[in-house]
Structure 1
Amino acid sequence: MDYKNYVVAIDQGTTSTRCIVFNHDAEIVNVSQMEHKQIFPEEGWVEHDPQEIWTNTRRVVGEALAELDISSKDIEAVGITNQRETTIVWDKNTGEPVYNAIVWQDTRTGDICKQLMGNEGPDRWREETGLRINSYPAAPKIKWILDNVDGARERAEAGDLLFGTIDTWLLWNLTGGAEGNDGEAAVHATDVTNASRTLLMDLETLKWDEDICAEIGIPVSMLPEIRPSVGNFGQVRSRGTMAGVPITGILGDQQAAMFGQGCFEEGDTKNTYGTGLFMLMNTGEKPKWSDHGLITTVCYQLADEKPVYALEGSVSMGGALVQWLRDELQMIPNAASIENKAKSVKDNGGVYIVPAFSGLFAPRWQPDARGVIVGLTRFVNRNHIARAVLEAAAYQTREVLDAMVAESGTPITSLSVDGGMTMNEFLMQFQSDILDVDVTRPNNIETTALGAAYAAGMGVGFWSSLDEVKAHISIDKKWRPKMEAAERDRLFHQWNRAVERTYGWVEDPEAEEAAAPKQ
């Protein structure tokens, strides 16, 4: 093999799309990135324009390759990683979405979720799917589109509409879209990790659960074929910069980060600091169900091998809280400046920020919670608030790690971390302090894109094995806890008090009416 060739990763995230080109030493040789619009039509609604995402994908791929002066003949394979539960429904005959992409953070499906729970509650399908019924998975979003877009249900039942998470949308377009590719239909497929985030896949059979689909009212004909994460997903259409390049790896973003961190052994645990915070623990070849607020998901699957599963704790607001401080409150000029502001004060001044903007995710699962800032006094300034924003990421991670330890019965002595926020030295030290464990950051913190690249590369033999992948991973820095136990306990106690003040903020008019005294 000519190791001068490259692997391309398309990393489609919540706020931007990137193309990252890797060489055989798993080094980044070029990056191109474009942000896309965040659309908020109503309170609790979060949308993206699928066509904008597809256009941006083509642009970043073209720019990344043009700057290197390389073409499809220099590329061994392409991998895709994506924001996971974000939902698109489109017309297979025209390629036009019937509605904007409904983003994973969106909470409009609350009433649908209550209907689906029935008398059995949010765990109704947890044994089959590993997930709780709430606004997070894709299925309630699909149902909302079919129920609320004129003619959508009829077109879906007639077989004209397709559903996909972002990976499927990009794959379908990359392989030709409505026009197909040299007489072949575009590939309508997903991988097991993304399928496991829909509330529609049986975790053990890795097939769509037709009974659940029928209960929710989703035609199975809309759903993509489920394939292993490492394997054949077709070839890029015969025109364009990457014409004919095989697509051989797809992983949801957090599973891609696991793959990029080399978390291939049972018990391996990582935390990604992106738009949200996502901690996963490899649990091996059998799914494990949580009694501590974690969800069960597929970690990855190699072609012709058994799937590997994980427990996951998902937090919706991580880096997004910094973005909110920058854009909505305009307290900082850019994300990087928050560290100096946080370090300029000796403590948080008694301020705690609980970013329950979309309710509380793992491990509390309180959809009726909303964000609060508590402990304000005249002493507090914007630097204390900046510090409280960073501390919130660490406290939320502590909650999820405590649940992981309770679930596994095994203490976690070191946490592998990745994502943009890990460049914040203050946050990483505070994270180590509040967890009382070592925190380790790899040399390459772009582990999400790297995981997609590794998967694609393994799919064509560019990298031969998981062991070869692990050989490329090295540690950049390690933080050790320095905080006294009494101070750690005090801070976390105050955090818990703050969180409890978020509960029940979204009132249920129907419940209140039923409980009201009758005249």
Structure 2
Amino acid sequence: MVNALRYIGAIDQGTTSTRFIVFDTEGKIVSSYQKEVDVSYPQSGYVEHDPCGLFEDVKECIDEVLKDMEANGLDYELIEAIGLTNQRETTVVWDSTTGKPLHSAIVWSDVRTSELAAKYNALPEAEYVRKTTGLNISSYFFAVKLRWLLENVPDVRTAKEAGTLMAGTVDSWLLYNFSGGKDGGIHVTDASNASRYLLIDIRKLEYDPALIKFFGVEGIQLPKIVSSAEKYCMLGFGKLQNCPVSGCLGDQSAALVGQKAFKVGQCKATYGTGAFILYNTGNEPVMSSNGLLTTVGYHFKGMKPVYALEGSIAVAGSALQWAKDRMGLIQDAKDVGPLAASVPDTGGVVFVTGFSGLFAPYWIDSVRGTVFGITSFTTKAHIVRALVEAICFQTDAIMISMSADAASTGEPGAGEVKELRVDGGMSASDEICQIQADILGFPLLRPLMKESSAFGAALAAGIGAGVWNSIDELDHVSAYNVTRFESTSTKAERSSKLQLWDKAVRLATGWTT
């Protein structure tokens, strides 16, 4: 048993908040601090961050946690390693001579590149991109955002021509600044983040020259691809100066690790602003025939990479926020579960939450938010329950696709899903978890440890720094208090509801052209 007085820190840099959390080696939270991230919307469809602001937020969060530990008589010098988890795909460009950003960070959810993505998708090479990367060409991913910056920002073009243009995702930007910035800072990204670039061969975990040429990003200083658990650098500032940074994972991969879904067939769903479901497919990538993405789950140094199928839902927690802020249906997000459970069903209402189209497995851009089946009997409770069920139906559709893709490998037992491990804000509601279990037809498992992404980054850091020597040693870490939600629905009930949902999706399609 590892001495529980040893600590590991985790930086969780997300779309709406930055956090620093310190765990002990039993997986319990010792201290944490969170700061809201400034998000700007310069015009319709644009979503941006200030890259320097993200770095300053991280420093503030670390400082506040160390103050709290000192105030409570805890020795922060016992922090042995730091892990980093980050919002994926968000794209940062900077100049190697100054170390300063050349543009605001373009956030993953930004859709300014939709037309550019459509142009690339119309080219014959698009199928090669999908087969090589495991991804669809979408406004979502790094390469398309980088191409837009080259075409629309003169300073970025000038830096490229001068050979001083550096580009990467938020993890790369932060690690660069952690290690000295323009004065010798490292330029790396871990395999889980790199797998979202649209530029790498998912099997080799190397940049593919044909993809670099296809997207026209030759001559740019792209980050070196490294494992998800190794010593990258020593922190170069503050009271934790010289503490090793030894773990890095994109947020959804970090949640997979934090849920300890290390076996083939295990899967997790994170219900945040959107929702993201990852299914562990083992050491070989499975290319989807059912509208899913192939991604790197994690790659710990000295071990084979572990791959995952991924399905994403554009609108999850943001739909609840909409119900509160825009429609006044609830006073607080925590009211959603009790209100949805106050009625036995939706009273025939189906809500397609396609506020900006539908993601996996549909990939329909022309859908918009649509409510069907309203009658004089309908109450706001029915509407809210239909809103919750919409997210649950999309999760179910993704799980069906994952089972089909995994079963196509022919491996014994492949495609059998016995349970779904959940985390994220919405999963805090018992009522929502029960509705999800009833729609899926199998159990949901919710750990007491709700900070799955940060916890996963801490586990990776611990492995990278030698606190643990193998995944097997993690069995005892945070192995307590899991709430299990059993499905109470029948197959006939689930089939009837799913047919109605599928009909609603078809009717809502084509609203925009």
TM-score, normalised to structure 2, is: 0.93
Structure 1 gap ranges (5+) = 508-519
Q: Distance in 2 between matches of 1:56 and 1:177?
A: 16
Structure 2 gap ranges (5+) = 408-414
Q: Does 1:148 align with 2:162?
A: no
Among residues 446, 451, 464, which one is paired with 1:446 in the alignment?
451
Matches within 5 A, 1:349-368: 349-368=347-366
* Residue number in structure 2 paired with 1:5: 6
* Residue number in structure 2 paired with 1:307: 305
**8 Å contact kept, 1:290–1:296:** yes
Q: Which moved more, 1:90-99 or 1:161-170?
A: 90-99
* Residue number in structure 2 paired with 1:477: 483
What is the letter of the counterpart of residue 103 of structure 1?
A: V
* Residue number in structure 2 paired with 1:17: 18
Residue 122 of structure 1, CA deviation: 5.0
Q: Does 1:127 align with 2:131?
A: yes
Q: Distance in 2 between matches of 1:502 and 1:199?
A: 30
Residue 134 of structure 1, CA deviation: 1.2
Q: Please give the secondary structure, in 1, of the residue aligned with 2:233.
A: coil
Q: Distance in 1 between matches of 2:396 and 2:78?
A: 44
Residue 80 of structure 1, CA deviation: 0.4
Among residues 72, 75, 78, which one is paired with 2:82 in the alignment?
78
Q: Which moved more, 1:281-290 or 1:212-221?
A: 212-221
What is the letter of the counterpart of residue 419 of structure 1?
A: G
* Residue number in structure 2 paired with 1:338: 336
Q: Does 1:462 align with 2:467?
A: yes
* Residue number in structure 2 paired with 1:38: 39
Residue 220 of structure 1, CA deviation: 4.7
* Residue number in structure 1 paired with 2:49: 48
**8 Å contact kept, 2:351–2:390:** yes
**8 Å contact kept, 1:356–1:372:** yes
Q: Which moved more, 1:109-118 or 1:91-100?
A: 91-100
* Residue number in structure 2 paired with 1:382: 380
Distance 1:197 1:420, change over 3 A: same
Deviations 1:296-317, CA, capped at 9 Å, x for gaps: 1111111132211111111121
Residue 319 of structure 1, CA deviation: 1.3
Q: Please give the secondary structure, in 1, of the residue aligned with 2:127.
A: coil
Distance 1:480 1:229, change over 3 A: same
Matches within 5 A, 1:198-213: 198-213=197-212
Q: Please give the secondary structure, in 2, of the residue aligned with 1:104.
A: coil
Residue 14 of structure 1, CA deviation: 1.6
Q: Distance in 2 between matches of 1:378 and 1:100?
A: 48
* Residue number in structure 2 paired with 1:139: 143
Q: Please give the secondary structure, in 1, of the residue aligned with 2:163.
A: coil
**8 Å contact kept, 2:231–2:465:** no
Distance 1:14 1:506, change over 3 A: same
What is the letter of the counterpart of residue 479 of structure 1?
A: F
Q: Distance in 2 between matches of 1:475 and 1:440?
A: 10
Q: Please give the secondary structure, in 1, of the residue aligned with 2:291.
A: coil
Residue 216 of structure 1, CA deviation: 0.8
Distance 1:121 1:213, change over 3 A: closer
Matches within 5 A, 1:29-428: 29-69=30-70, 73-120=77-124, 122-178=126-182, 180=183, 185-237=184-236, 239-409=237-407, 410-428=415-433
Q: Please give the secondary structure, in 2, of the residue aligned with 1:20.
A: strand
TM-score, normalised to structure 1, is: 0.92
Q: Distance in 2 between matches of 1:130 and 1:53?
A: 29
Q: Distance in 1 between matches of 2:50 and 2:118?
A: 28
Q: Does 1:506 align with 2:496?
A: no
Q: Please give the secondary structure, in 1, of the residue aligned with 2:257.
A: helix
Distance 1:354 1:50, change over 3 A: farther
Q: Please give the secondary structure, in 2, of the residue aligned with 1:380.
A: coil
Residue 156 of structure 1, CA deviation: 1.9
Q: Distance in 2 between matches of 1:436 and 1:327?
A: 32
Q: Which moved more, 1:99-108 or 1:196-205?
A: 99-108
Q: Distance in 1 between matches of 2:202 and 2:483?
A: 36
**8 Å contact kept, 1:440–1:475:** no
Q: Distance in 1 between matches of 2:499 and 2:381?
A: 22
Q: Distance in 1 between matches of 2:166 and 2:76?
A: 29
* Residue number in structure 2 paired with 1:514: none
* Residue number in structure 2 paired with 1:511: none
Q: Distance in 1 between matches of 2:323 and 2:60?
A: 29
Q: Distance in 1 between matches of 2:495 and 2:125?
A: 34
Distance 1:98 1:385, change over 3 A: farther
Q: Distance in 1 between matches of 2:220 and 2:149?
A: 16
Q: Please give the secondary structure, in 2, of the residue aligned with 1:45.
A: coil
Deviations 1:281-331, CA, capped at 9 Å, x for gaps: 111111111111111111111113221111111112111211222233343
Distance 1:122 1:163, change over 3 A: same
Residue 71 of structure 1, CA deviation: 6.6
**8 Å contact kept, 1:131–1:199:** yes
Residue 498 of structure 1, CA deviation: 1.8
Residue 3 of structure 1, CA deviation: 4.3
Q: Distance in 1 between matches of 2:91 and 2:401?
A: 28
Q: How many residues are aligned here?
A: 501
Q: Distance in 2 between matches of 1:106 and 1:172?
A: 24
**8 Å contact kept, 2:265–2:416:** no
Q: Which moved more, 1:78-87 or 1:322-331?
A: 322-331
Distance 1:160 1:71, change over 3 A: farther
**8 Å contact kept, 2:266–2:417:** no
Distance 1:161 1:503, change over 3 A: same
Residue 234 of structure 1, CA deviation: 0.7
Residue 138 of structure 1, CA deviation: 1.0
Q: Which moved more, 1:405-414 or 1:73-82?
A: 405-414
**8 Å contact kept, 1:95–1:177:** yes
Q: Distance in 2 between matches of 1:216 and 1:88?
A: 17
Q: Distance in 1 between matches of 2:153 and 2:170?
A: 20
Distance 1:207 1:240, change over 3 A: same
**8 Å contact kept, 1:72–1:243:** no
What is the letter of the counterpart of residue 114 of structure 1?
A: A
Residue 439 of structure 1, CA deviation: 1.0
Q: Distance in 1 between matches of 2:480 and 2:260?
A: 10
Q: Distance in 1 between matches of 2:75 and 2:328?
A: 42
- Aligned-residue RMSD, C-alpha: 1.8
Distance 1:381 1:37, change over 3 A: farther
Distance 1:2 1:427, change over 3 A: closer
Residue 477 of structure 1, CA deviation: 0.9
**8 Å contact kept, 2:268–2:420:** yes
Residue 373 of structure 1, CA deviation: 2.6
Q: Distance in 2 between matches of 1:98 and 1:115?
A: 25
What is the letter of the counterpart of residue 495 of structure 1?
A: W
